[in-house]
Amino acid sequence: MTHRPLQLTVIQHLAFEDLGSFEPVLREHGMAITSLQAGVDDIAPAIDAADLVIVLGGPIGVYEHEVYPFLTTELQALKQRMQAQRPTLGICLGAQLMAQAAGGRVYPGGTKEIGWGTLVLNDAAERSPLRHLKDTAVLHWHGDTFDLPPGAERLASSSVYVNQAFRMGPNLLGLQFHPEAQARDFERWLIGHAGELSHAKLDVAALRRASVVHAGPLETGSRALLRQWLEELVWP
pLDDT tens digits, one per residue of 17-42 = 999 999 999 999 999 999 999 999 99
Tens of pLDDT, residues 116-160: 999 999 999 999 999 999 999 999 999 999 999 999 999 999 999
| pLDDT level of residue 113 (50, 70, 90 thresholds) | very high
Going 19 to 107 to 138 to 111, the CA torsion angle's sign is positive
The number of beta carbons lying within 10 Å of the beta carbon of residue 164 is 27
Please, are residues 92 and 12 in contact by the beta-carbon 8 Å criterion?
A: no
Radius of gyration, alpha carbons of the chain: 17
Nearest CA to 36 out of 94, 84, 79 is that of 94
Longest distance between any two alpha carbons in the chain, whole Å: 58
- All structural domains of the chain, each given as residue ranges with its CATH number in brackets, are 7-232 (3.40.50.880)
Tens of pLDDT, residues 187-214: 999 999 999 999 999 999 999 999 999 9
**pTM, to two decimals:** 0.97
What span, in angstroms and rounded, lies between the C-alpha atoms of 44 and 64? 18
